[in-house]
Amino acid sequence: MEIIEINNAVASVKIALQGAHIFHYQRKGEEPLLWLSDTSDFEYGKAIRGGVPICWPSFGMNNPELPQHGFARTAKFVHVETKEIDESTTEVTLKLTHSKETLLIWAYQFDLELKVSISDTLTMELKTTNKDSRSFTITQALHTYFSVSDILHVEIKGLDKKPYLDALTNKQCLQNGDIVFRNEVDRVYQEVDSEIVLKDKNRTVNIKNEGSSSAVVWNPWIEKGSRMSGMKADAYKQFVCIESANAFEDFVVLEPNESHTLKATIY
Ligand code: BG6
């Protein structure tokens, strides 16, 4: 699989052209921040299990006419440029445009650009531009898999009192306190307007989202984890997904020539 590797003074990253999929990010002297399944298929047509899959132009089954999480995660992006801003900051830009294949499954002309900034912070900007003559609606996510010491040690802060859709029961609920994991969690938080903090035993990660008011928190736990493609049955212990999203009611409508940027800053 074609990949881009960046190694600057403070961090390293690996990005597959398929899906503009960041599957490794690590600060010098630290453990990798992103989880990558050691049994993931690195195969064209299958999404890598781990890293940051791009769910676009539909999150989950928000658009039931499209495959789960859309088609961008298995589409081949073009490498536009790599810029060395300074010895500690590198910027990589990748792009996907409509093609005969995409028009067959989603009948709109578009530009989708991912700009990744690699320093001691990982920044991802996903910009959608409507190149069609009609408006279109998207839902999307930067579906980040964070590597954790043990899911039992994880606490997620910053979502207290936020409403969420529990995807396991299809019910609307209200978050009470921090999120901990003792069974399967699959939730779409709404009205998210502040940073999310992932607290692990020896590490704290901050996630700042812009152009977004929804965030997905997901861990498949034992039963679903054992049925999932590209990962071992007990891999659920090693990661948590905190996804920077425009999902469900937080959809985006773009008129011709309009753009929208979903930005996640992880530090
Ligand atoms: C999450 C969904 O965003 O992605 C989960 O909320 C889903 O329900 C998970 O299981 C993984 O999806 P996939 O298609 O990569 O197996």
Q: How far is the CA of 71 from the centre of ligand 1 (A)?
A: 14
- Tell me how far apart the alpha carbons of residues 189 and 174 are, in angstroms, rounded to a whole number: 9
What are the distances in angstroms from CA 212 to CA 35, 69, 139, 140, 188? 23, 17, 10, 10, 12
What's the pTM value of the predicted model, to 2 decimals?
Answer: 0.98
Q: How far apart are CA 42 and CA 47, in angstroms?
A: 8
- Ligand 1: which of 58, 62, 143 to mutate, judged by most atoms within 8 Å of the beta carbon? 143
The residues of the chain scoring below 50 in pLDDT are none
Atom 10 (ligand 1) nearest CA: 220
Q: Read off the pLDDT of residues 18-39 as tens digits, 9 standing for 90 and up.
A: 999 999 999 999 999 999 999 9
Options 143, 153, 155, 210, the catalytic residue: 143
Look up tokens 């590198």; give the residue. Answer: 90
| DSSP H or E stretch at residue 105 | helix 100-105
Q: Whose CA is nearest to atom 8 of ligand 1?
A: 186
Tokens of residue 146, six digits: 């964070």
CA 166 to ligand 1 centroid distance, Å = 13
Distance between CA 198 and CA 206 in Å, rounded?
A: 6
Q: Which residue has the tokens 């990962």?
A: 231
Q: Is 69 in the pocket of ligand 1 (CB under 6 A)?
A: yes
| Cα-to-centroid distance, 9 and ligand 1 (Å) | 34
| Per-residue pLDDT tens over the stretch 122-133 | 999 999 999 999
Ligand 1 atom with the shortest distance to the CA of 220: 10
So what's the pLDDT on residue 41? 86
Q: Say if CB 178 and CB 160 are below 8 A apart.
A: yes
Residue 170 — left, alpha, or beta (φ > 0 → left; ψ -120 to 50 → alpha)?
left
Whether omega before 57 lies within 30 degrees of 0, making that bond cis, reads: yes
Which pLDDT does position 78 carry in this prediction? 98
Q: How far is the CA of 60 from the centre of ligand 1 (A)?
A: 7
Whether residue 213 contacts residue 262, with contact meaning beta carbons closer than 8 Å, is answered with no
Give which of 164, 165, 132, 142 is closest to 253, Cα–Cα: 132
In the residue annotation, 30 being an active-site residue is answered as no
* Residue 43 is among the residues annotated as catalytic for this protein: no
**Protein residue closest via CA to atom 6 of ligand 1:** 186
Q: What is the pLDDT of residues 222-241, one digit of tens each?
A: 999 999 999 999 999 999 99
